[in-house]
Amino acid sequence: MSRFSGTITALATPFRDGAVDEPALRALLRRQIEGGVTGVVPVGTTGESPTLERAEAERVIAVCVEECRGRIPVIAGTGSYDTRSSVERTRWAARAGADAALVVCPYYNKPTQEGIFLHYKAVAEGGGLPVMVYTIPGRSGVNILPETVARLARVPGIAAVKEASGSLTQMSEVVAAAGEALDVLSGDDALTVPFMAVGGRGVVSVASNVAPREMAALTRAALSGDFAEARAAHYRLLPLFKALFLETNPIGVKAALALLGQAAPEIRLPLTPMEAPNRAKLEAALRSLNLLTGA
């Protein structure tokens, strides 16, 4: 099995009274490890990275390193729209003990494909960690084209791609462009099974925050070639996938963790708590998987 494969959890950051809830974070990490996930991504979008102060982000990464203890990789979110900042963030993640860095495509300033290539090359050369490239045009405003991925596959230090374009055609083209050089993972829970059927190695998952065992079983089945079981798992989990994204991520997953009693229902502005009708749909999805019991 390759280094980046299976179910890697895009980790939520629990808050309590306005601060990072370290006990809840540690408990969340233990559930991930016990559930069989193959890695965690702290301080990504699901971890509310735009609202974390640097000291908070560093502490979250350090806690993940302490709890994982080398059993699964910690892939720290270190990307920004500024290349120098991304290099520096990757360096301090390396000092904290992270195993790799998830680096989002530079957002807002909309670089060209050449600028994207040079950005990742600089982070790979100067950051001190293997880099997982993160394609998510819906948030960054620009796409990382398959041709650019093919160029990045030849850069030492570029190790993987998280592909969240939402296009199975592009995802297939990225797998072909990456060849054997890069592990390519889905950035969308609901596209995991079809993507793995065309060569994807797994998923960086939001849903595994609340269903780690179920998501790990899904990707294990697909990696072993048992797509009948993988499809069955996909359809069992599909209501959860839909419910978690009724509102902007990570609103749904924070609400789910609160419903499960695993974290306080706190999310930082400008994101707001999940609206009651959507929360009811989320609760129903959790009950359908027997994740939420009681009246």
Question: Which residues are marked as active site?
Answer: 134, 162
Give the chain's end-to-end CA distance (angstroms, integer): 42
Three-state DSSP state, 133: strand
**Residue 259 backbone dihedrals phi, psi, to 5 degrees:** -60, -35
Report the DSSP pairing between strands 158-163 and 6-10: unpaired
**Residue 135 backbone dihedrals phi, psi, to 5 degrees:** -95, 115
**Residue 163 backbone dihedrals phi, psi, to 5 degrees:** -105, 110
Note whether 13 and 48 are within 8 A (CB). Answer: yes
The span from the CA of 76 to the CA of 60, in Å, is 9
* Encoded tokens for 228: 């009948």
Note whether 283 and 292 are within 8 A (CB). Answer: yes
